[in-house]
Amino acid sequence: DRHGADGLYRRAAAPLRTAYALLDAGASRQATADRLYTGAGELAISVGWLAHDSGRFDDARSHYAEALATARMNGDAGLEAHAFCNMAFLAR
């Protein structure tokens, strides 16, 4: 493993902040907003997994909670289930 989860985790934080900044800026079309919510939520889950894999359990929990909130704000049941799945894995 060339970079390790910790190195990737630190690099992944910037795109996640950008995704949420785009959401905060708003989208002119609902279809675009839906894709932004789903993308940001999935990215939060991925960043959470990198945090989990590098032993940053509090950070992982925070990212999974962020993904869950994003899913609920957009009514995305699939994203919500994915976030819960990762939260459950973290609780093991």
What domains appear along the chain, each with residue ranges and CATH number? 4-91 (1.25.40)
Give me the phi and psi of 26, to 5 degrees please: 90, 155
Q: Which of 26-30, 42-46, 78-82, 86-90 has the lowest mean pLDDT?
A: 26-30
C-alpha distances in Å from residue 92, one per residue of 69, 76, 82: 22, 25, 16
Asked whether residue 1 carries a pLDDT value surpassing 70, the answer given is no
Instruction: Quote the CA–CA distance of 36 and 33 in Å, as a whole number.
Output: 5
Could you tell me what percent of the chain has a pLDDT over 90?
64
Confidence of residue 3 (pLDDT cuts 50, 70, 90): low
**6-62 residue pLDDT tens:** 888 888 889 999 999 998 998 889 899 899 999 999 999 999 999 999 999 999 999
Cβ–Cβ contacts within 10 Å for residue 18, how many?
12
